[in-house]
Structure 1
Amino acid sequence: MPVSLHSHVPARFNMVNADEIARLCYDRFNKLPRRGKPEPGREWTLLAAVVKSIRCADSDTVEKEVVSLGTGTKCIGSTAMSPNGDMLNDSHAEVIAKRGCVRYLIQELHTAVSGGDSSVFCPADQRGKWKLRPGVSFLFFTSHTPCGDASIIPMTDSQSQPCPPVTSVKAHKGTNGGGNLKRKAEEPSDGKNTKLPRLEEQETAETQLEDRGELKQSFLSDSSKTEAPSQSVETASSDSPGPHPQIPDIHRTGAKCVPGGLADPLHPGVGYHSTGLLRVKPGRGEPTLSLSCSDKLARWGVLGFQGALLSHYLQEALYFSTVVVGKCPYSQEVMHRALVTRCSCVSDLPAGFSVCPPVLLQSSLEFPFSQGQTELRHQAGQGRISPCGAGRILTHIFLAVGTAQITWNPILSILILATFICGPNQIQCEQTSTTRAFLYLFRRTELQTYWDYKQASQSYQQAWQQLRSQAFPLWPRSDRDLLLFR
């Protein structure tokens, strides 16, 4: 039988306890096998999870269970994307956990349709449709503030200020200033010891922090400054006497503004970023087509996290009731702006969809494999601290047979489609007794490809059109050729 981790709290204490959720997810991660985890003291990663909550009708308890868990910090570039559905473009922990949850929901739906006892679904009022059982809800946990808009957070006095200050670089149209970086790095400097690092060095340093979703310090030196990178900039003039006030600044995100709209001003301090914008995640040396986790969480607050395929059979979209963030740089106001405010204006959604913002909470518990904790535990001789090269996905259905390691060639996208259409007996990677005879009744002969099934989910596509037109007009459209796999 699958192993699960539960927590029971009295229903009269109905408020979600952020530390309880974080501890539940960390404990579940700790119980996983060692393979695929970061090397303590040298590697770090991000963790995200989906927690199912069931309020028991016949008792005063709430049962919580981790049904999906993922780690990862990587994205592939646009040129590496595969038309065969066998490459996972976005391996950030939040996306991995959400995809694993969809896989779990497909199995639960099959159980319900087959007459079994699903803990999640029951028949809806509309014939042929299903809905969540009374008392069932889902919470989302992430160990770090989502990359993108939610990571553009004012720094506090207790946090290190970035150093040295940023040179104002005006972006070329549609390039976010990328063309100016190389030119600036190659220009000679009039001052001593003010040579800018080579562009390759800048990219390497930025990429390490971009993997985490934020940039804690800038890597373009102001030509008038000579401070070492490890020092704090406390004043605009080193000649002025007395204590120097710190320059207010913000945490940076490595996610880049989508082309066609506003770009980041790249001014020093708080003027470095524009806020409220759609952003794409950074890749390894080339652009990606993956929207930031902030953007995706905001989208799930309107379209639901079930996706287009499950929407064929659900009467209502599924929304996260709560989003919990682990201990890290965090701002409630910024999280609300990124995940809620940007979509609050959306209206005229089809039946079953609504603007459903989650409750936003932060835990006081830090993930043991966060970058900060890894730096604290780093010892001489361990080598350079770096993000973990592997990712991990865990869903409830995998608990009996282990976990799948996600690197650069996962099969999760095509796996979800295949289980949706034809069942697991035709999937070589999951020929197990826990997943046989899967969803055969969902086969529709007039629909052949992943694109076909997504587009045939009419209500979902209508809701997506309303969201795009009213809140996210610059959201890039998926290349149809990449979605025609069968």
Structure 2
Amino acid sequence: MEESQLELDEKQWGPMVADKVFSLYKSLPKKGKPQGREVTVLSAFLLSSPSQDTEVIALGTGTKCIGRSKLTHSGNIVNDSHAEIIARRALLRFFYAEIQCLNDNNGFQNSIFESELDGSGGIKYKIRAGWKLHLYISQLPCGDASLCLVPSSIGEHEGCSELIGLVQRKPGRGDTTLSVSCSDKIARWNVVGVQGALLSYFLRPVYLHSVTVGRSPYVSEDVCLVKQLKRSLFERVTPLSNELIKPFEVNKPIFSAAPVPPKEFQHSETAQATLTCGYSVCWNKSGLHEVVLGTTGRKQGTSSKGAVYPSTESFLCKKRLLETFISLRHECKIRCSSNEVSYRELKG
């Protein structure tokens, strides 16, 4: 869908995106979904093209992240299980699967990517011309985008005006988290792309064409929601425009509102009154379907004794994503193995 058409059909765009996301979510098994009074957050990436209907290609749920004391140096747990981050890691898995298919079949007919020569004579992939990536979230992302902007309400959230625009950590009860807020991570994606450092060895930056967020049952004005998204996810990173080197740029997505999500995604106005689901469901079009316990960063059903085994590791953890990258290392210029170059050095 071209930008002008999306803007023209904005009233239809939000409901259409939400319908597709929730239809896919409902088709998934009950495992890992909220039960009883529990609620969660849902996020998804969708793809549109000139010849195909918009479709969901990656999805995630969740509200939890690991506290500082439980972090490991081996990369074998998922530190951040918020919906947006789970969905994005599922998206990375989908991108890897697409690259693997290109390598195996040596053909681009059914791929979302096409190839081009880079400046040094090598080949990199980029998303096909006319294909657009879209993000849906059932509520405003945590952090800057969720801070109130209306002066009359600032008194209800003491000190929030001082936090607007600043990088923030995710909120947590008890053990302090080191995970950066979803608002800050999405803002970063609007500068460097959603693909991350490792996939940048293979891919040109992949930017979001639109960001659609479900309305709160407590706030009815779409204008306020869109204003918050635009300020938090785009405007505060625009000063970087003159400091970036091609192919990077400050991306300006189209921001829009979607209908209020179903009850299991409606959080109360106060965190104390909300019973949040501890599990994160992840899914992508290439066959990934997994449930992670957000407070441990491992697969659902992992016992304390079994937590040391590789079988409990999520496919979304850094260790597993690095293994996938290493398996495709012949696609990029560097020659390495997981023993020769560290994860940090690869991300460089």
TM-score range, shorter chain: 0.7 to 0.9
In percent, how many aligned pairs have the same letter? 33
* Structure 2 match to 1:74: 64
Structure 1 residue identity aligned to 2:27: K
Secondary structure in structure 2 of the residue aligned to 1:129: strand
In the superposition, the TM-score normalised over structure 2's length comes to 0.81
Task: Give the Å deviation of 1:288.
Answer: 1.3
| Residues in 2 aligned to 1:343 and 1:334: alpha-carbon distance in whole angstroms | 14
Tell me, in whole angstroms, the C-alpha distance in 2 between the residues paired with 1:130 and 1:333. Answer: 34
Q: CA deviation at 1:358?
A: 1.0
Match of 2:230 in 1: 336
Match of 1:280 among 169, 190, 208: 169
- Which residue of structure 1 aligns with residue 309 of structure 2? none
Higher helix residue share: 2
Counterparts of 1:292-441 in structure 2 under 5 Å?
A: 292-314=181-203, 316-328=204-216, 329=219, 331-346=225-240, 347-372=242-267, 386-398=275-287, 403-407=289-293, 408-410=296-298, 411=314, 412-413=316-317, 414-422=319-327, 441=331
Shift of 1:132: 1.2
The match for 2:306 is none
Deviations, residues 386-439 of structure 1 (Å, cap 9, x unaligned) = 10111111111226xxx21111233212221111112xxxxxxxxxxxxxxx66
Partner of 1:86: 76
From the CA coordinates, give the structure whose radius of gyration is larger. 1
Letter in 1 for 2:153: D
The verdict on how the C-alpha distance between 1:389 and 1:307 changes in structure 2, with shifts beyond 3 A counting, is same
Q: Does residue 142 of the first structure (1) align with residue 137 of the second (2)?
A: yes
Secondary structure at 2:239's aligned position in 1? Answer: coil
The 5-angstrom pairing of residues 185-264 of structure 1 reads: 248-250=152-154
Structure 1 distance, partners of 2:138, 2:193, is: 21
Does 2:63 correspond to 1:63? no
Q: Count residues in correspondence.
A: 306
CA contact (8 A) 1:340 1:357 kept: yes
Q: Does 1:102 align with 2:88?
A: no
Residue identity opposite 2:190 in structure 1? G
Alignment of 1:424-463 (within 5 A): 441=331, 444-445=335-336, 447-455=340-348
Match of 2:117 among 120, 125, 143: 125
Poorly superposed stretches of 4+, deviation over 6 Å: 9-12
Q: In the aligned structure 1, how far is the partner of 2:54 from the partner of 2:347? A: 31
CA distance in 1, matches of 2:57, 2:251: 22
Shift of residue 18, structure 1, vs aligned partner: 1.1
Q: Which residue of 1 aligns with 2:304?
A: none
Which amino acid in the other structure matches residue 79 of structure 2? Answer: N
**Contact 2:193–2:207 (CA<8 Å) still a contact in 1?**
yes
Unaligned segments of structure 2, at least 5 residues: 299-313
Measure, in 2, the Cα distance between the counterparts of 1:417 and 1:396. 20
Instruction: Give per-residue Cα distances to partners, 1:156-195, cap 9 Å, x unaligned.
Output: xxxxxxxxxxxxxxxxxxxxxxxxxxxxxxxxxxxxxxxx
Give me the whole-angstrom Cα distance separating, in 2, the residues matched to 1:289 and 1:385. Answer: 22
Opposite residue 420 of structure 1, the aligned amino acid is F
3-state DSSP of counterpart to 1:124: strand
Cα RMSD (Å) of the superposition? Answer: 2.6
Residue 332 of structure 1: how far off its partner (Å): 2.2
TM-score by length of 1: 0.59
